[in-house]
Amino acid sequence: MAENGSGNYSGNSSGSGSGFVREVAHRIFAAEFKESNLQSKEGHDQYSPSYLITPTGAKCNRVFIVGTLTEKEDVGTDAEFWRGRIVDPTGAFFVTAGQYQPEAAQVLAKTTPPEFIAVIGKPTTYTTKEGNVLTSIRAESMQIVDAATRDRWVVDCAKLTMARLEKLKGSEPDVVKAREHYSTDVQSYRAMVAQALESVRMK
Amino acid sequence: MSDIATKIVARFSELGIKVQPEEVETKLDQLINKFKVPPEEARRNVINHFLKQNNIPRTEFFEKRETSQVKASEIKEDGRWVTLRGKVVQLWETNHESVSQTGLLGDESGTIKFTKWTKAGLPQVEEGKSYLFKNVVTSEYQGQFRVSLTKTSEIVPIDEDVEVGRTLVEYSGAIVDIQSGSGLIKRCPECNRALVKGACGEHGKVEGIYDLRVKAVMDDGEKVQDILLNREVTEALVGITLEQAKDMATEALDQAVVLDAIKSKLVGRYFIVSGAKLDRFILVDTIRQDTTPIDQDIMKLLSIAAPLAQEA
């Protein structure tokens, strides 16, 4: 009796999401990130994390991107506030780093474009007066990397994007939300992945 | 129910105490059937009642129970009483007075955390020595198992040296964060714990000993993995020795320069690590930058993403 009871117990508890778990950093191509505008918040208090659901169904609270820093600008008035444009094979990301991201801001401040750069950060959205949603990444950390790392990221991101497209056929709640909101054109995202891969393919 | 009652009566008679079977049964019946108490809880309640009545300490009643010997890796259930034959691999500084010793036990199958309670009144164990840990209880915390040594446990030193098996795991992904407490740190000379602002949590202000280490977070896009690099691994990976790190810090009047150097070499890059899994960490034995050729992956992915464009 006791044996059965405890057996069930351990079976249940192993999958429970109790305690703090760090959010995974999703790999998203710029073209997909730019199209993302579906926000989702779990729970109702101010500390519950908010997520950006992308057209292929990635539910991100954190992203990891690698690309070429092509422009940067300090747009702050009182304190430094850096904005950078980071380009991957499919488009461009906007990345910001202000006084609350001092380390990332420092890296952006001292880097002269063009340079390969890796960014780990939080996706944020901004709605313009016209009602357009602009996406950007608030950098948590940022480092200069080499060309090999950038190519490896493109392949990594392609692999994960393809996996998401496969899962997009399924019935998980986030996937369903993404599909209903974006009416995702799977074929065009496949083409995006193919184009990105072609650009890093050995000639 | 009468089964429980018979066992209780039998155990008490072993201790030389006669309890009335009818009385036991009545009490059990009342608790289980009338007041809907689970049988295990009812059993406990009845036992305690008779123990109190006869002034017997709880430990005496339960002590004789022999538990089956298991391997560390077989522990997969909460609340099981087991016996382990193993070596004390590591002792950690305890951070509460109710814990007399805590650390890691290992046997051929792997390692498991242990906690020895002060109230248990058990003898101290030594790092590197092997023992038979009789009648210890398992528990689970966030998916990790550990054993507790309590009043009813017994520690028997054994002569042989138990070989500790290590389950090596490999993980590949990008390093996405270097956590605070990395880089050039100071440790307490008494307990080896990392100092925070020059003070040890246990021993207060002490003259610390320098060390170099990295606590990092790896991420493969699907799950995260914490890794720990000790001084040797850090020195080899980052190319900065402890001595050089101290010089850098002295010159800059700031220990953070070492951390910055480490971050600039690791964050945002892909690595493959292998080492023993401990709690949520991998204690890294080897770490190398991931330089596996990507061409094959590209071709494979292209064949799925754009099957028609293959010949192009």
Q: Over the stretch B252-273, which tens digit does the pLDDT of each residue have?
A: 999 899 999 999 999 999 999 9
**pLDDT category, B63, cuts 50, 70, 90?**
low
Cross-chain Cβ contact A25/B174 below 8 Å: yes
Final residue of a structural domain among B157, B176, B192: B157
B182 plus B243 within the same structural domain = yes
Position B62 scores a pLDDT of 67
- Is residue B89 located within the same domain as residue B145? yes
Question: Which H or E element spans position B292?
Answer: none
Is residue B115 domain-shared with residue B175, that is, in the same domain?
A: no
Q: How confident is the model at residue A3, as a pLDDT? A: 36
Cβ distance A178 to A73 under 8 Å?
Answer: no
ipTM for the predicted complex comes to 0.88
Residue A41 has pLDDT above 90, yes or no: no
Judged by DSSP in three states, A145 sits in coil
Q: Any idea what DSSP says for residue B125?
A: P
Does the pLDDT of residue B5 top 60, yes or no?
yes
Q: How far is A126 from chain B (nearest CA, A)?
A: 25
Express each pLDDT in A62-120 by its tens digit.
Answer: 999 999 999 999 998 888 999 999 999 999 999 999 999 999 999 999 999 999 999 99
B265 and B222 both lie in a single domain: yes
Residues B175 and B231 in one domain: yes
Neighboring chain A residues of B302 at a CB cutoff of 8 Å: 194, 197-198, 201
Cβ–Cβ gap B222/A14 under 8 Å: no
How far apart CA A94 and CA A105 sit, in angstroms, is 14
Summarised one tens digit per residue, pLDDT across range B126-172 is: 988 999 999 999 998 877 889 999 988 999 999 988 888 777 889 99
Judged against a pLDDT cut of 60, whether residue A13 lies above it is answered with no
Whether residues B51 and B112 share a domain: the answer is no
Could you tell me if residue B265 is inside a domain?
A: yes
Task: State the Cα–Cα distance between residues B274 and B290, nearest whole angstrom.
Answer: 12
Domain shared by B82 and B123, yes or no: yes
Name the average pLDDT for chain A: 88
* A contacts of B41 (beta carbons < 8 Å): none
Cα distances (angstroms) measured from residue B6 to each of A189, B18, B25, B109: 71, 12, 9, 38
- Taking an 8 Å cut-off on Cβ atoms, the answer to whether B268 and A149 are in contact is yes
Residues of A in contact with B177 (CB under 8 A): 120, 140-141
Q: Lowest-pLDDT range, A16-20, A52-56, A160-164?
A: A16-20
Weakest-pLDDT range from A8-17, A193-202, B69-78, B101-110? A8-17
- How close A71 gets to chain B, by Cα (Å)? 20
- Of B39, B63, B87, the domain-final residue: B63
Does residue B110 register a pLDDT over 70? yes
Question: Is B163 contained in some domain?
Answer: no
* Beta strands per DSSP E along B204-293: 204-205, 209-219, 224-229, 270-278, 281-289
Of A86, A185, A202, nearest to B268 by C-alpha is A86
pTM score, whole prediction: 0.72
Contacts of B224 in chain A (CB under 8 A): 21-25
What is the domain count for chain B?
Answer: 3
| Cβ-defined contact of A9 to B301 (cutoff 8 Å) | no
pLDDT band of A8, cuts 50, 70, 90: very low
- Structure token pair of residue A180: 């209903």
Mean pLDDT over the full length of chain B:
89
Of A155, A160, A189, which to mutate for an interface test with B (greatest number of B Cβ within 10 Å)? Answer: A155
B281 and B224 share a domain? Answer: yes
Pick the CATH number of A23-197 from 2.30.30.280, 3.40.50.970, 3.40.50.300, 2.40.50.140: 2.40.50.140
User: Which of A52, A61, A54 has its CA nearest to residue A21?
Assistant: A61
Residue B309 within any structural domain of the chain? no
- Residue B192 pLDDT: 85
What does the pLDDT read at residue B64?
A: 55
What residues make up the domain containing B196? 168-289
Q: What is the pLDDT of residues B162-204, one digit of tens each?
A: 888 777 889 999 999 999 899 999 999 988 888 988 898 888 8
Q: Which chain B residue has its CA at the smallest distance from A2's CA? A: B40
Interchain contact, A152 vs B294, CB within 8 Å: yes
* C-alpha torsion angle, residues A151, A155, A156, A158 (rounded to 10): 130
Query: Do residues B57 and B97 both lie within one domain?
Result: no
Task: Report the CATH number at residue B177.
Answer: 2.40.50.140
φ, ψ for residue A49, nearest 5 deg: -70, 150
Structural domain contains residue B199: yes
Domain edges within chain A: 23-197
Of B78, B174, B260, the CB nearest to A64: B174
A190: distance to nearest CA of chain B, Å?
Answer: 5
Give the one of A18, A64, A160 whose C-beta lies nearest to B142's C-beta: A18
Boundary of a domain, candidates B63, B81, B103: B63
B264, B269, B281: best to mutate for the A interface, most A CBs within 10 A:
B269
One domain for residues B209 and B271: yes
By Cβ distance, the residue of A6, A144, A202 closest to B79 is A6
What's the confidence (pLDDT) of residue B95?
78
Cα A87 to Cα A66: distance, rounded to the nearest angstrom: 8
Rounded average pLDDT over B273-301: 92
Count of A-B CB contacts under 8 Å: 122
Angle (deg, nearest 10), helices B295-305 and A147-167: 30
